[in-house]
Structure 1
Amino acid sequence: MKALGLILAGGNNHRMQELSSKRAIAAMPIGGSYRCIDFALSNMSNSHIQTVAVLTQYNARSLNEHLSSSKWWDFGRKQGGLYTFTPTVTADNSWWYRGTADAMYQNIDFLKKRHEPYVIITGGDCVYKLDYNKVLDYHIEKKADITVVCKDMPEGADISRFGVIRMNEESRITEFEEKPMVSSSNTISTGIYIIRRRQLIEMLERSGQEDRWDFVTDILIRYKNMKRIYGYKMEDYWSNIATVDSYYNTNMDFLKPEVRDYFFRETPHIYSKVDDYPPAKYNAGSDVKNSLISSGCIINSKIENSVLFKNVFVGKNCVIKNSIILNDVYIGDNTHIENCIVESRGTLKANTYYCGDDGVKVVLERNDRYSL
């Protein structure tokens, strides 16, 4: 494909609470067996994009480990490759990434050395499938300077954490508001953009000279009346996981047959790094309904409407409802968990009770499991 990919995966926010205190949002587990960044990487691979760069920064260790080999997404070094870029101290620069535009600006040499005419920019915190070839064809057909992939959100959805756009009858963007408190439009930007590589370099260099570091406010909004910026509407499933509630709801969506079939069974597929765990084991006393149970799990109790990630042990006489249990959690006997997200590598002692009465509760327990 005549485009290269840039995945912006270095951001952090406090809306994820304790879940993002030790990992990047792009590294959050999704759907039992995936990391969130797997969806962007798989879309790149399925669209035959050979060269992809992931820009990481905050709590990047687990994310970098996940990206240590490009073979899982079939990015071959002879054709291009998967690159991971973190902020680098040089004689001229010692800054961390100060924004999305600065992250690209600090790696502008990579853009200058490439030969692909177009760049696809996306975030690492969204769950979706998209053929970037269709968006690129639309971009070329419209003779656009920048194309923004957008989506109509349902009535009542919280759009205050997204960029809200308005388009004319030709799908050209006329207004772009970044994270408005109130808006009459329900069309949001999904954070996916297509732009010509040389034009991106020019815009980044000008923004850098003016100490402007955010791609949305300092490039998209600033140039919206000067450049031909078009919107491409996305109709299929899309979700951003950058809050506790949205992360919980996105995982719960995988319990719906239509969503599960869309991501697990329908082509193109989603790929991820494979861990060598045995299949889940269901012992006497287990009773599992409408749940996702990942490899390496050992189940001895009742589980309903829940997602259990890899290598989870559930003791006897437990009840787990409407909950998400992350990787490598030990749950002692007679434990009740409801409306919760249990952080990875936690140890829940026997005879304990956890319930999110006023919303989703994040559970962090760092007990010594060998003393149980």
Structure 2
Amino acid sequence: MALPRVLVLVLAGGKGNRLELLTETRAKPAVPFAGVYRLIDFPLSNCQHSGIADVWVSVQYQPQSVSEHLANGRPWDLDRTTGGLMMLPPFQGNERGGWTEGTADGLWRQAELVRGFDPDALVVVSSDAVYKLDYREVVDAHLGSGAEVTMVTTEVAADDAARYGIVRVGDDGRVADYAYKPDEPATTTATNEVFVFSPRPTLDRLEALADEVGDDGLEDLGSHLLPAQTGDGAARAFRFDGYWRDVGTVTSYWEAHQDFLAEEPPLDLDEHAWPVHTRGGRHSAARVLDDGRIENSLLSGGTRVSGDVRGSVLSPGVIVEAGATVVDSVLLPGVRVRAGATVTRAVIDDRVDVGGGASVGGDGDITLVGRGVRVEDGAEIAAGARFPDPESD
């Protein structure tokens, strides 16, 4: 029996405003994670290990940052003569051209392309979470259920539930209620932004909804499509109990890095049976020099440490000079922390130069320093600050 024809649509077009300075000059899926990876590496690696070779990536905001990383898709075995990786940029030429205004709107704009491919199942995933999941297992459960959509669900903290689509699931696995980012969540069961759709009925429903909402637009999947499918009893849940962490905010991004500094990290990124692949191999080995001290940290290739680094993640090319201290922080590629400087509970973006004797962050909220800036010698950036201040002239 032939395997079902599966198409994966990776949503990589959003600006990611909640990541603030980290997404000023790059798309959210291109944000580095755990030193050498990018966020989009996780869904693409899931596709590879799930045996799914037809992957379309919808890009819009800062598309070059995603396209440069993906290239021809070789790290994920997507460089194929037939099928493989395809980029879907905004387009003009018909009534569905133009900028995408939400995930459901984007799916509607690409509807004819999806219909032409004629998949048995359409898997729609975001690229702002860290997890491992066999998408084909979810597809098999979906095709056997008769549902129009299967929502992969996970449990989240009660004080964080309002950030997600929240569902109530019946004993039979049917989704009895769906609320998109509710002010008062009824449960802590959230969709983790992996959906398997039956393409034809879903696209037909989108057409009808587009006519109903008119100029207001289809917006996100949770705005009209998923509530309509749930209301008609056409939605099922697939419970996921593994590690899943949304990293769409500065705080959650920092917290996810702390997860991977544990003695037993929640995911083995080098697991032989399911490694997370990325485009890389361009850096030499990390070096800890005579005065360097490392404690409970991740060091990427090309890092040079002569100072004190504790509980931190250092991306490729980071330099921590003698007498500098980095504690509980995430340093993205090319950061330099000069002698006598201290960085505490901070996320420091690409190519930032922290001047000698400067103090960045402290106890309290996470501090964020934007890409490519120079922190002057002896400067003090308070805990929880954003530098440069995005609201300043």
Could you say if the C-alpha distance between residues 323 and 202 of structure 1 is closer, same or farther in structure 2, counting changes exceeding 3 Å? same
Equivalent residues in 2 for 1:213-362 (5 A)?
A: 213=218, 214-259=220-265, 262-265=268-271, 267-362=273-368
Q: Which one of the candidate residues 3, 8, 11 is aligned to 1:5?
A: 8
Letter in 1 for 2:24: S
Task: For residues 84-131 of structure 1, give each alpha carbon's deviation from its aligned partner in whole angstroms, at most 9, with x where no partner exists.
Answer: 111112253553101111111222232022132111111011110001
Letter in 2 for 1:56: V
Q: Secondary structure at the match of 2:46?
A: helix
**Matched residues in 2 for 1:100 and 1:120: separation?**
13
Moved more, 208-217 or 133-142: 208-217
Moved over 6 A (4+): none
**Matched residues in 2 for 1:270 and 1:206: separation?**
39
Task: For residues 228-260 of structure 1, give each alpha carbon's deviation from its aligned partner in whole angstroms, at most 9, with x where no partner exists.
Answer: 210001010001111110011111111123326
**Matched residues in 2 for 1:157 and 1:289: separation?**
31
Q: Secondary structure at the match of 2:224?
A: helix
Could you say if the C-alpha distance between residues 75 and 13 of structure 1 is closer, same or farther in structure 2, counting changes exceeding 3 Å? closer
Q: Which one of the candidate residues 197, 200, 203 is aligned to 2:199?
A: 197
**Matched residues in 2 for 1:340 and 1:316: separation?**
19
Q: Secondary structure at the match of 1:354?
A: strand
Note if 1:145 corresponds to 2:148.
Answer: yes
Letter in 2 for 1:134: E
Q: Which runs of 5+ in 2 are unaligned?
A: 377-393
Aligned residues of 1:44 and 1:132 also touching (Cα < 8 A): yes
Task: For residues 289-321 of structure 1, give each alpha carbon's deviation from its aligned partner in whole angstroms, at most 9, with x where no partner exists.
Answer: 110000011111110000001111111111110
Q: CA RMSD in A?
A: 1.8
Note if 1:108 corresponds to 2:114.
Answer: no
Aligned residues of 2:179 and 2:222 also touching (Cα < 8 A): no
Aligned residues of 1:50 and 1:79 also touching (Cα < 8 A): no
**Matched residues in 1 for 2:82 and 2:262: separation?**
38
Q: Normalising by the residue count of structure 2, what TM-score does the alignment of the two structures yield? A: 0.89
Aligned residues of 2:35 and 2:315 also touching (Cα < 8 A): yes
Q: Secondary structure at the match of 2:125?
A: strand
Moved more, 206-215 or 28-37: 206-215
**Matched residues in 2 for 1:134 and 1:21: separation?**
36
Aligned length: 368
Aligned residues of 1:295 and 1:310 also touching (Cα < 8 A): yes
Aligned residues of 2:301 and 2:317 also touching (Cα < 8 A): yes
Q: Give, in angstroms, the shift of residue 79 of structure 1.
A: 4.2
Letter in 2 for 1:297: T
Q: Give, in angstroms, the shift of residue 266 of structure 1.
A: 5.2
Equivalent residues in 2 for 1:78-157 (5 A)?
A: 78-154=81-157, 156-157=158-159
Q: Give, in angstroms, the shift of residue 57 of structure 1.
A: 1.1
Moved more, 12-21 or 272-281: 12-21
Q: Secondary structure at the match of 1:257?
A: coil
Q: Give, in angstroms, the shift of residue 5 of structure 1.
A: 0.2
Could you say if the C-alpha distance between residues 61 and 157 of structure 1 is closer, same or farther in structure 2, counting changes exceeding 3 Å? same
Q: Give, in angstroms, the shift of residue 72 of structure 1.
A: 0.8
2:373 alignment counterpart: 366
Task: For residues 313-332 of structure 1, give each alpha carbon's deviation from its aligned partner in whole angstroms, at most 9, with x where no partner exists.
Answer: 11111111000000111221
Aligned residues of 1:50 and 1:76 also touching (Cα < 8 A): no
Percent of aligned positions that are identical: 27
Moved more, 73-82 or 166-175: 73-82
Q: Secondary structure at the match of 1:232?
A: strand
Moved more, 109-118 or 243-252: 109-118
Aligned residues of 1:33 and 1:309 also touching (Cα < 8 A): yes
Q: Which one of the candidate residues 17, 23, 36 is aligned to 1:33?
A: 36
